[in-house]
Structure 1
Amino acid sequence: MRCVESVKIKEKNEKQQRMNHKQKLPFSAQLEAFLFYHGEAVSVLKIASVLGISEEEVSFGLRELQETLEKDSKRGLTLLWKEKYVPLEAKLRQAPLETKLLMGQVQLVTKPEFAFIFQKLIRGDLEEELTPAALDTLSIVAYLGPLSRAEIDYVRGVNSSFILRNLLLRGLIERREEKKGALYQYEASFDFLKHLGLRKVKDLPEYETYRGMLTRFQEQNKSDSFKPAVS
């Protein structure tokens, strides 16, 4: 019994330490880190749910972060808002900024003036052959898609944002949104299948074998964080 109580006390102390550490971090910095890691447009509702705070607090923090990024000429990032379409009723037109922001999604992006850097980078990426990491990611998407970036990261064990962008630019994968505010789902593109001379994803070599391997991997890890999509 004493052993069990000691474990509970230790877990409680560790949780309290994490809470204290979180409270010491500037909220705008927490939001910036969240958006950077997420790598895609995300709704205010989703951010609030993950951070365990109200949507109004998130909206206020995002506005503060945007002002900080815009005022600092030494920063290369800003926030891009993707507002959800809502009928322009009179009362909506008069709604405060915070209310309008709750209706859409936000993404951390580079400022327009730095576009020349990425134009060179993109041209270089498209001219080069796929790296082993890109081939690895493409295989995961092809055999296991549709799946979210978080699921891809889980399988690979690393962040895949940059590689997914590269594959999208090459037209090898597609990204779609199942419903408003949901995570993007990635899958092999029609051009990818056409390039391989295939009619459907299930025609990939040893398709069922590789999907079965992932299922066994999931069962061994006893994790519900990733489930293969049903074809």
Structure 2
Amino acid sequence: MLTPPAALHALLFASGEPLEKKQLAKLLGIKDAEFALVLKALDGLLQGSGLALIETDSDLELRTAPEASPIVKKLRESELSRDLGKASLETLAVIAYQTGSTRGEIDWVRGVNSSTSLRMLLMRGLIEGREDERDRRRIRYRVTTEALAHLGAARLEDLPRYSELAAGAKEVIGEETAAAAAAEPVAPVLRSLGEAG
């Protein structure tokens, strides 16, 4: 069975984005005071690991540690010099045909976690993320003019079968689906916690 610090680590890793502390405490089944102790324990475990907890008043995120910046910079430079892989192209296609998709929606359409592909596309300037006006914790992605040039199109509508596929995507990704997709990244961890208990 996972210890509370290990479970918190798993949740933050599976999410790949900031999570509310209150939500994390609820998922772990602990009170705020105990959450502070779990957080301190996880922070201690992460010392020297290359990972760090990034904390705001309300949110918590697992990121690379500042001291890992030089090696991470080398990775990013090597990623930028490579061609886009299949996963990044799939992610770019989902965003192009369903402008304003959230990471949860993209993950749902692709059936896998898209965090790495989103990071790659953001670093290359092929997509941009903007806060969701209804929920400021969510980011909505759209392609940039650089992406259109990469795809050989002047506008989104110039992409193959754009009208047909964009309309189909809107039908598939509704509000209910978006809500379910947002919870999907942590679902396997929650299932494993439930099975362990």
- Size of the aligned set, in residue pairs, is 177
Per the alignment, do residues 65 and 112 of structure 1 end up closer, same or farther by CA in structure 2, a change over 3 Å counting? same
- Kindly state the Cα deviation for residue 143 of structure 1 after the two structures are TM-superposed: 1.0
C-alpha separation in 2, matches of 1:197 and 1:214: 20
Aligned position for 2:177? 225
C-alpha separation in 2, matches of 1:167 and 1:79: 24
Q: Deviation digits for residues 163-191 of structure 1, max 9, x if unmatched?
A: 11010000011112226752222221243
Which amino acid is 1:184 matched to? I
Does the alignment pair 1:66 with 2:48? no
Per the alignment, do residues 120 and 78 of structure 1 end up closer, same or farther by CA in structure 2, a change over 3 Å counting? same
Aligned position for 2:127? 173
Per the alignment, do residues 112 and 206 of structure 1 end up closer, same or farther by CA in structure 2, a change over 3 Å counting? same
Aligned position for 2:51? 77
- Unaligned stretches of 5+ in structure 1? 1-23, 84-102
Q: Which structure is higher in RCO with an 8 Å CA cutoff and minimum separation 6?
A: 2
Give the secondary-structure state (helix, strand or coil) at the position aligned to 2:73: helix
Which amino acid is 1:125 matched to? E
- Kindly state the Cα deviation for residue 69 of structure 1 after the two structures are TM-superposed: 1.4
When the two structures are superposed, what TM-score results if normalisation uses the length of structure 1? Answer: 0.65
- Unaligned stretches of 5+ in structure 2? 180-197
Among residues 32, 45, 48, which one is paired with 2:22 in the alignment? 45
**Map 1:2-41 → 2, pairs under 5 A:** 24-41=1-18
- Kindly state the Cα deviation for residue 51 of structure 1 after the two structures are TM-superposed: 4.7
Give the secondary-structure state (helix, strand or coil) at the position aligned to 2:176: coil
**Map 1:140-179 → 2, pairs under 5 A:** 140-178=94-132
- Name which of structure 1's ranges 164-173 and 209-218 shifts more when overlaid on structure 2: 209-218
Whether the aligned pair in 1 keeps the contact of 2:131 and 2:139 (CA below 8 Å) is yes
Greater Rg over alpha carbons, structure: 1
- Kindly state the Cα deviation for residue 54 of structure 1 after the two structures are TM-superposed: 4.4
C-alpha separation in 2, matches of 1:157 and 1:49: 26
Identity fraction in percent: 36
C-alpha separation in 1, matches of 2:27 and 2:146: 36
Which amino acid is 1:144 matched to? Q
